[in-house]
Structure 1
Amino acid sequence: MHPAATAEAEVADELAAVRPGLLARYAAALPGARAAVLTRLWRALAHEPLPWITGREPVSDGLVLRLADGRRLHGPAADPYRTDAYVTGVRLGAAPYGDPARLMADLAVPHSAGFAAELGHSVASLALSRTGPGNHPDEWPDSDWGWEQRVTDGHPFHPNCRARPGFSVAEQFAYGPEHGPVVELGLVPVPASACLVTGRWPRELRDGERLLLPVHPWQAAHVLKRSYDRTLAAHPLMSLRTLAVPGGPHVKTALGARLTSSVRDISVASIAASDTLSAFGRELAARTDGLLHVTRTLGAATAHSPDLAAVLRESPGVRAAPGEHVVPVAALATTGLPRSPSWLAGFARLALTVGLGLLELGAALEAHGQNLLVVLSASGEPLRLVYRDLADIRVSPARLARHGVAVPDLPARMLTDDPAALRRKLFGSLVAGALAGTAGSAAALGAALETAVRELPPSPDLVALCEEPLPVKALTLMRMSPGVDGDLWALLPNPLVSR
């Protein structure tokens, strides 16, 4: 049985046991889920430097990819910034394929079998995510987690947008934000003397000489294999392992599962650097004339293990004035706001003003649709930005020194003076990620950027943004390159150059 049929059947069997009333919705959602994942996969095949693709040839009815073994793969013209599920089928030779997992399995290239299984799981989990009641664009949530739970489809460009290997159907319902659960985080007591703590660990998460470390229930069951007596109720956010405590902080937990691409544990080094990073984030925000707020890390603790650690951050919602909404960029498509050229241009101008300004200063944000939030007025106008989770930014000591900013004591992996590396980090996440996902197509993105860049101060980074191909993480190549550490990159056509 092909991996697609296997994953879909397994989810159907589990669903029949735990939520039989949703079987019809699940079956109805499968075709759309296949098209959504196939669209993301076709983008990768058309644009990533996959070693078994030797040529790409535009033809009158689309695009032909030449494979190293002589086969030809034919599909529609590939818009790398398009977000609707527009690819419903491709042809490998004369054989039609509408299922991304089946296609990847039959390509039979190095490491395709494992990736095909992931694609099958992504399709099945995405269909499961779409079994909910749906969003009402005109009914805006009144909680920060309410916005996050509206994002049913995950990453807008990753074929593994909903892959959650290791999660049963019951666990997806129990922990997936799109299903709206309340999660009881375990509070695991650990002697304070056995922990590394930065910032302030709150009194309510202490028990005498012990810290109470919040632990995700999945982590407790599958990785730590331990029970707990006390719990903390919280609402899962987009990242699934970060949860919002009503009236309190956001809690980032360790989760030893591979979600999308990465295992979501919390390294000891990141705990050690968290307070320094938080202070640096406040310094960066102070230089943006009020256009950016970086969420503060309140406290972080680890039992000297990436599997047993937690980070407490302030909620982005604390930065909203009465009548304002703080919305993750990934959730903008659910607001019902019109994607008018003027609105998109205004949002792009705000995001690029902040992003390029900090890049010139010496900090490249990873401002994708999950990390970047926008403060909207009551009428939906973009006013300010909020950024969370500084763990993956890149910092240039030379640029900071040029502006008289002290270089913080950060892990070596975060430091680089290479302009290409700094631009990849920002452009790949903000322009080819957050802005592209909001615009929804190359044409709309190009129009928004063209208007926005006219009002930005000149700089070498702006010239690169306007004239060079846009870098983006080669997400499929990374999943098919086991043993290769670090990010791999692709170059996408610049929508400004073609205008």
Structure 2
Amino acid sequence: MPLGEDVAERADAYAAAPLLNCLLREVARPCPDQEGRPDQDGRPDEDGRRVYRLPGGGRLLRVRGGRRPTEPEVYAAGAWQRVDHTELVKLVSEELRRHTGLSNHELPAEMLDSREAVAALLAARNRTPAPEDPYIRSEQSLVTGHPCHPAPKARGGGPVASWLPYAPEAYARFPLELLGVREDAVVEEGDTSALDALGQAPPGYRLLPAHPWQLDLVGRELAGAFADGRLLRLGPTAFQVRPTAAVRTVHAAARDLFLKFSLDVRITNDVRRLWRHDLSRLRRTDAAAAGAFAARGGPAAWLSDRGHRTAGFAHEELAVVVRDGLGGHLLPGATPLLTAALAEGFAGNPLDGPVDPDAWWQAYLRQVVPPALEVFDRHGVVLEAHLQNTLIAVDASGTPVQALFRDAEGVKLLPEVERAAGWERLVYCLVVNHLTEIAGALAERRPGFDPWPAARREFARHDLPEIAGLLTAPALPAKTNLLLRWTGADGAAARYLPLPNPLTGGLIAR
């Protein structure tokens, strides 16, 4: 098969899976009647396919697979007809118009953009060697990305050449741009001293690193500041950085540092700008999280967002957050890996090795669950402990020995949010988004292995007032990313629907 056809087919499959997950989770209904072929309670047929009814138009949809649905087909003219990604986007859009009574022209374009981005990423990966460092390889492995988002790889609709050089999934690495900000225009909070070591600023100026893609996006807005001397271009850094899975956060291994930038591009649900209101609370949330982890005494660690710096005349556009590197937190001899990569797959994934699934899973739960629960209950810190904000460090045998959490921007604090709302958010991030994906990936590789009894035992060990309800509730909250985006809700205004609770013996429905 020609390379172009192979990339096109793979791009369709990668882009269709998360869109199908959204449709099946949020809108479609399992169909017990496969047009005359009995199928009790929506169980798969002899070919491993499940049938769903789309309530808006009554059409039947058939897919193969579980965590990553494939081969979508619709029933028409007395037969099942295969649909490609473009046809799937049309089908989903028509269904959502009927289901919600609302039109949306932006989201279908993002869905198509996401698929085109995947094709560009796959082509780039075919011609670029993967990073040798297993940690970076894991951060740059997420070609599918968020498994329950309709357009996880959309890059703002811009031309491929504008964003591909900075795409983690394309194994990108690049220097940062160094700017000089006139001292009287510098705005900063917390410990930003690491930025001053990135280069040399002329007298009367302070260093401010910038993401080159962001500079391209907001360059016209900064023309006046460059013209009147408030900003200077000082050239690229002498070292390269690697973008992490978050795209706008980069790893500067040479400085043992992470830097998080503004990026005026919508990625998943939000435009990834460092908003002023988030920056204003960053020190408070980071201090609370850092204090909570310090009180635990390890081995779990918090990667502190220790400070931020920007220019007062471009407060959000040029903001950069300084985050701890790994060196001061990682256990000796341990290898950190992005947990989302375990679910997606990458070369070096410990789940592909000769691990005992029960022992590995119990070790994983011991590292991830206790810190998230304890900092919530004892310190009122609600971690956004989803797959992209959690690292798992493994020993030489691939066994989990430490969890590291990050991103103070996503942290909520009690009583700023009510405890019930904080608990719902924690359960969604930790259980629905995180543990179900890791459990599913492990179970796929070890047929017959049931990960949920061990997970139930781990949660039962913790004396939180919410645990009894968690272990008996028929359903857990799942975020409705498709409906959220279709109805134009703010990305931070999470809406949840109930999913069967695997901790009570149910199965997460797709």
Establish whether TM, by shorter chain, passes 0.5: yes
1:359 aligns with 2:376: yes
Aligned counterpart for 1:90 among listed residues 40, 56, 73: 73
Aligned residue for 2:176, secondary structure, equals strand
Letter in 2 for 1:208: P
Assess if the C-alpha contact under 8 Å between 1:449 and 1:496 holds in 2: yes
1:480 matches 2:486: yes
**C-alpha separation between the residues in 2 aligned to 1:484 and 1:150?**
28
Q: Which amino acid aligns with 1:72?
A: R
Q: Deviations over 1:201-220 (max 9, x none)?
A: 22335543323222211211
| CA displacement 1:133-155 (0-9 Å, x = unmatched) | 4999xx99437434312333322
| SS in structure 1 of the partner of residue 321 of structure 2 | strand
- The equivalent of 1:36 in structure 2 is 14
Superposition pairs for residues 137-156 of structure 1, below 5 Å?
A: 141-142=132-133, 144-156=135-147
Give the letter aligned to residue 350 of structure 2: L
| Residue number in structure 2 paired with 1:349 | 366
Give the direction of change, closer, same or farther, for the CA distance of 1:76–1:103 in structure 2 (3 Å limit). Answer: closer
- Counterpart residue type for residue 235 of structure 1: R
Give the letter aligned to residue 428 of structure 1. Answer: Y
More deviation, 267-276/465-474: 267-276
Structure 1 residues 442 and 321: CA distance shift in structure 2, 3 A: closer
| Distance (whole Å) between structure 1 residues aligned to residue 10 and residue 472 of structure 2 | 36
Aligned to 1:448: 451
Q: Which residue of 2 aligns with 1:246?
A: 253
More divergent stretch after superposition (270-279 vs 244-253): 270-279
8 Å CA contact 2:140–2:244 kept in 1: the answer is: yes
Unaligned runs of 5+ in 2: 34-38, 40-44, 227-232
Alpha-carbon shift at residue 93 of structure 1 (Å): 4.3
Offset of residue 78 of structure 1: 7.9
Identity within the alignment, % = 25
Give the corresponding residue for 1:64: 52
Mapped partners of 2:441, 2:104: distance in 1: 28
Residue among 410, 413, 418 paired with 1:392: 410
Q: Which one-letter code corresponds to 2:358 in the other structure?
A: P
Contact 1:43/1:78 (CA < 8 Å) preserved in 2? no
Alpha-carbon offset, residue 285 of structure 1? 0.6
* Corresponding letter in the other structure for 1:336: N
Count of aligned residue pairs for this structure pair: 448
> Contact 1:349/1:453 (CA < 8 Å) preserved in 2?
no
Task: Say which SS state the counterpart of residue 316 (structure 2) adopts.
Answer: coil
**Partner amino acid for 2:289?**
G
Partner of 2:115: 123
Deviations 1:445-495 (A, max 9, x none): 993232133242243322233222121221111110125562222222112
Closer, same or farther: CA 387–89 of 1 in aligned 2, 3 Å? same
- Asked if structure 2 preserves the Cα contact closer than 8 Å seen for 1:185 and 1:234, the reply is yes
The answer to whether the Cα contact below 8 Å between 2:131 and 2:171 also exists between their aligned partners in 1 is no
**Does the alignment pair 1:376 with 2:394?**
yes
Residue 489 and residue 293 in structure 1: after superposition, are their counterparts in 2 closer, same or farther (change >3 A)?
same
CA 1:193–1:96 in structure 2 vs 1: closer, same or farther (change >3 Å)?
farther
What is the TM-score of this pair, normalised by structure 1? 0.81
Taking structure 1 as reference, are residues 114 and 24 closer, same or farther at Cα in structure 2, changes over 3 Å only? farther
Q: Which sits farther off after the overlay, 446-455 or 488-497?
A: 446-455
Which residue identity lines up with residue 437 of structure 1 in the other structure? E
Deviations, residues 392-425 of structure 1 (Å, cap 9, x unaligned): 122213xxxxxxxxxxxxxxxxx21241x21222
CA distance in 1, matches of 2:430, 2:284: 24
CA distance in 2, matches of 1:338, 1:219: 36
**Quick one: which amino acid aligns to residue 174 of structure 2?**
V
State the alpha-carbon separation in 1 of the partners of residues 304 and 54 from structure 2. 49
Contact 1:197–1:271, Cα closer than 8 Å, also in 2: no
Question: Which of 325, 333, 337 lines up with 1:315 in the alignment?
Answer: 325
Q: Give yes or no for contact 2:182–2:206 (8 Å, CA) kept in 1.
A: yes
1:294 Cα shift? 0.6
> 1:99 maps to what in 2?
84
Aligned mates of 1:184, 1:78 — CA distance in 2: 41
Q: Is the 8 A contact 1:298 1:312 kept in 2?
A: yes
- Are 1:193 and 2:184 counterparts? yes
Letter in 1 for 2:418: D
2-structure distance, mates of 1:319, 1:43? 36
1:278 pairs, out of 277, 286, 306, with 286
1:370 aligns to what SS in structure 2? helix
CA contact (8 A) 1:442 1:495 kept: no
- Greater Cα shift, 320-329 or 364-373: 320-329
Q: Which residue of 1 aligns with 2:335?
A: 325
- What corresponds to 2:476 in structure 1? 470
Matching of residue 231 in structure 1 with residue 226 in structure 2: no
Within a 5 Å distance, the mapping from 1:201-220 to structure 2 comes to: 201-202=192-193, 203-204=196-197, 206-220=201-215
Confirm or deny that 1:164 pairs with 2:155. yes
Q: Which residue of 2 aligns with 1:338?
A: 351
Match for 2:253: what amino acid? P
Structure 2 equivalent of residue 426 of structure 1: 426
Paired position in structure 1 for 2:229: none
Uncovered stretches (5+) of structure 1, i.e. residues with no partner? 1-22, 398-414
For the structure 1 residues 207 and 96, does the alpha-carbon distance in structure 2 shift closer, same or farther, using more than 3 Å as the test? farther
1:417 aligns with 2:413: no
Partners in 2 of 1:347 and 1:190 — Cα distance?
Answer: 45
Alignment of 1:42-57 (within 5 A): 42-48=20-26, 50=27, 56-57=30-31
Report the Cα offset of residue 299 of structure 1.
Answer: 2.7
1:252-291 counterparts in 2 under 5 A? 252-291=260-299
- CA distance in 2 between partners of 1:316 and 1:230 (Å): 27
**In 2, Cα distance between the equivalents of 1:276 and 1:207?**
32
* CA pair 207-198 structure 1, distance change in 2 beyond 3 A: farther
Indicate conservation of the 8 Å contact 2:259/2:321, yes or no.
yes
Distance in 1 (CA, whole Å) between partners of 2:141 and 2:495 is 30
Deviates more, 1:477-486 or 1:224-233: 224-233
- Please give the alpha-carbon distance, in whole angstroms, between the structure 2 residues aligned to 1:482 and 1:140: 38
Is the contact between residue 122 and residue 170 of structure 2 (CA under 8 Å) also seen in structure 1?
no
Q: Give CA-to-partner distance per residue, 1:26-71, whole Å, 9 cap, x none.
A: 43122233223322222222222x5xx6x65344142332433x43
Structure 1 residues 245-290: Cα deviation after superposition (integer angstroms, max 9, x where no partner)? 2321111111001112211111223333333333222211123341
* Aligned partner letter, 1:481: T
How far, CA to CA, are the matches of 1:350 and 1:470 in structure 2? 22
**Deviation of residue 306 (structure 1)?**
1.5
Q: Secondary structure at the match of 2:264?
A: strand
Question: Distance in 2 between the 1:213 and 1:140 partners?
Answer: 27
